[in-house]
Chain A
Amino acid sequence: MVTRPMPDPKILIEHLTLHYSDGTESLNDINLAIPANAITVLFGPAGGGKSSLLRCINRLNDLADVKTLSGRILLDGENILDPKTDIIALRRKVGMVFARPVVLPLTIRGNLTYGLELAGERRRSRLDEAVERSLKQAALWDEVKDRLDDPASALSGGQQQRLCLARVLALQPEVILLDEPTSGLDPISTGKVEAALQELKKNYTIVLVPHSVQQAARTADYAAFFLQGKLIEYAPGQEIFTNPKDKRTEDYVMGRFG
């Protein structure tokens, strides 16, 4: 496996091993350094452990039936798998966008202010500010600014997914995890989401599980290839898609399996 030394990664994953009780996905001794201000793509065939890894980074796996979990995930040098970690604070710092756009059964505005209100923000001006900023960042402001108090479920699928992204951004996180965020979207909506991500990476650490190799190649600054719970190859995007070192990575990128 190719690993590069990386000075000061935002997230450093060390010897991470994970097994679910039902034996579905698993991760075996993953070592990965994720830099700030870049899009790091985790790709590979289904069941490779990409989503499981994402769900470790904001401790969403706490909700799942995990049998074994060992290793460390350092976020700014702090091990977030430590039982003493403030999970609520962690989840505000590490946001997640899911494959299926799930808007909460609230208004558009309600979806965006939900996390902030839970964090104790009551000032209307701050909330309004966050609504506008996050919608602009997710390239949705112009489409919804006149109907912020409509139910969020009235939006189209593509709009809902951008709302989900905006909802994460409203909390001003440091890391954004995206699990196949465009799998259900048409090419135009997908383009909008990808463009938003390129803009966002200037200020955020982005970890993306893409829904296709093509999307991986389009968006990746760094790319990690996962196969059956193992990290096969990790390299800058241009390298891994044009000149993969590992035969299995090459076969997958070339479309010989998957």
Chain B
Amino acid sequence: MRKRIPLLRNRHLVQRLGFSLLTLMAALTVLPIIGVVLFIIKEGLPAISWEFLTAMPREGMRAGGILPAIVGTLYLTLGTAIFSVPLGVAAAIYLAEYAPENRLTRLIRIAIINLAGIPSVVYGLFGLGLFVLFLRFGTSILSASLTLSIMTLPVIISAAEEALRAVPQAFRTVSISLGATRWQTIRRIVLPQAMPGIITGIILGLERAAGETAPILFTGAAFFLPRLPHTPFDATMALPYHLFVISTQVPEMPFQIQYGTALVLIVFVLSMNLIATIIRSRARARRQW
């Protein structure tokens, strides 16, 4: 006869071991993020000063501030929003509310999914070909924003479509039974309910655009500019590209300025993330369904 009790005990042991392992794995995924952030804060914080944030670079970018890069990233993010938000939200409304299930919409969906998988440097080359050269927008904020917009679109479309689909179907049926048209139903009921989810998607998409280097490399980013850009047709400095430049292209670059720049970029991106999180959790608390 076999002994049963050790087997039972063994089963508990396996369960606990497995559980601990999973907890450990989950904790491990958080560690690098915390590690990176803490390291950058530690190294970069001493560089942060009023001058660093508001002055032009001096002495071949080895001193002074990074104002043009900060302003440039703001412009690029704003420019990306101007193009990608209306287009992305409109596309999501079409896909979630109007599109019939047919070959065309399946094709659109596959295109969107694949758009999200294209490496960002390929977007950069595409933007160079289409916007900079063919459309003659030059190396400019406009070209870079358009390129970033194409990259951001799939993120916004997917998030917005998901948010729209999460609104209960019953709201639509009721609204239509009360004599509303489809568009009235969308505008007055569905969109307001989906708005927090859509805004979250927009911010996450723009956040990615703000941190990208490759798409703006050939389309709008400048190595160094002695002044702030005046029109959308000017090239601009930008935080991620500036970071790349001062880390690899400029000899005898003080480490502090590199980490200071990284800190500004990461704070910019993470605060967008924070805003998205706040909007989401507030909306969830207020949600009535």
The answer to whether the Cβ of B122 comes within 8 Å of any Cβ in the partner chain is no
A-B pairs with CB below 8 Å: how many? Answer: 61
Q: Please indicate which of the listed interface residues B173, B178, B188 has the most CB atoms of chain A within 10 Å of its own CB.
A: B178
Decide: A105 near B179, CB < 8 A? Known: A60-B173, A98-B170, A118-B184: no
Known contacts A98-B173, A102-B170, A105-B171, A153 near B181 by CB under 8 Å: no
The residues in B between 145 and 204 inclusive whose CB is less than 8 angstroms from any CB of A are: 168, 170-171, 173-181, 184, 188-189, 192-193
A91 at interface by CB-CB < 8 Å: yes
Q: Are B178 and A105 in contact (CB under 8 A)?
A: no
For the complex, is B289 an interface residue (Cβ under 8 Å from A)?
Answer: yes
Q: B114 contacts the other chain (Cβ, under 8 Å)?
A: no
B288 close to chain A: CB less than 8 A? yes
* CB atoms of B176 and A60 under 8 A apart: yes
Contact A171 B175 (CB under 8 A): no
Q: A105-B193, A153-B288 are in contact. Are A171 and B178 (CB under 8 A)?
A: yes
A93 nearest CB neighbor, chain B only: B179
Q: Is the interface of B mostly helix, strand, loop or mixed?
A: helix
**Do B189 and A118 touch (CB < 8 A)?**
no
| Chain A residues within 8 Å of B189, by CB | 104-105
A residues near B192, Cβ cutoff 8 Å: 105
Residues A104 and B179 in contact, CB atoms below 8 Å apart: no
**1/0 contact string of A95-130 vs chain B (CB within 8 Å):** 110101010110000000011001100000000000
Question: How near does chain A come to B33, taking the closest CB pair, in angstroms?
Answer: 36
In the bound complex, do residue B170 and residue A100 qualify as a contact, i.e. CB atoms below 8 Å apart?
yes
A50 CB-CB contact with B under 8 Å: no
Q: Are A60 and B177 in contact (CB under 8 A)?
A: yes
Instruction: Say yes or no: is A58 at the interface (Cβ < 8 Å to chain B).
Output: yes
Q: Which residue of B lies closest to A164 (CB)?
A: B174
15 of the cross-chain contacts (CB-CB < 8 Å) are: A60-B176, A88-B180, A89-B179, A95-B177, A98-B170, A98-B174, A102-B171, A104-B174, A104-B189, A114-B180, A115-B178, A115-B179, A118-B179, A167-B178, A168-B178
Shortest beta-carbon distance from A170 to chain B in Å: 9
A interface, CB within 8 angstroms of B: 58, 60, 63, 88-89, 91-92, 95-96, 98, 100, 102, 104-105, 114-115, 118-119, 151-153, 164, 167-168, 171
- Please state if A104 and B175 are interface contacts (CB–CB under 8 Å): yes
Which chain A residue shows the least CB distance to B175?
A104
| Residue in contact with B176 in the complex, picked from A91, A95, A119, A168, CB distance below 8 Å | A91
Do residues B180 and A118 form an inter-chain contact, with CB atoms below 8 A?
A: yes
The 3 closest A-B pairs by CB, nearest first: A153-B288, A115-B178, A92-B179
Taken together as a complex, chains A and B put the C-alpha atoms of A168 and B177 apart, in Å, by 9
Chain B residues with Cβ below 8 Å from A95 are: 177-178
B173 in complex: contacting residue of A63, A92, A119, A151, CB < 8 Å: A63
A residues within 8 A CB of B171? Answer: 102, 104-105
Among A63, A104, A151, max chain B CB count under 10 A is at A104
Q: Report B279 CB to chain A, min CB distance, Å.
A: 17
User: Which residues of chain A are near B173, meaning CB under 8 Å?
Assistant: 60, 63, 98, 102
Q: Verify B174–A102 contact, CB threshold 8 A.
A: yes
Given the contacts A63-B173, A98-B170, A98-B173, A88 and B179 also touching, CB distance less than 8 Å: yes
Q: How far is the CB of A84 from chain B (nearest CB, A)?
A: 17
Which residue of chain B is the closest to A100 with respect to CB atoms? B170
CA distance A168 to B179 in the complex (A): 10
Bound CA span A168–B193, Å: 22
* Known contacts A91-B176, A91-B179, A118-B180; is-contact A105 B289 (Cβ 8 Å): yes
Q: Which residue of A lies closest to B289 (CB)?
A: A105
B188-223 interface with A by 8 A CB criterion: 188-189, 192-193
B288 and A105 contact, CB distance less than 8 A:
yes
C-alpha gap A105/B167 in the complex (Å): 10
B residues in contact with A100, CB < 8 Å: 170
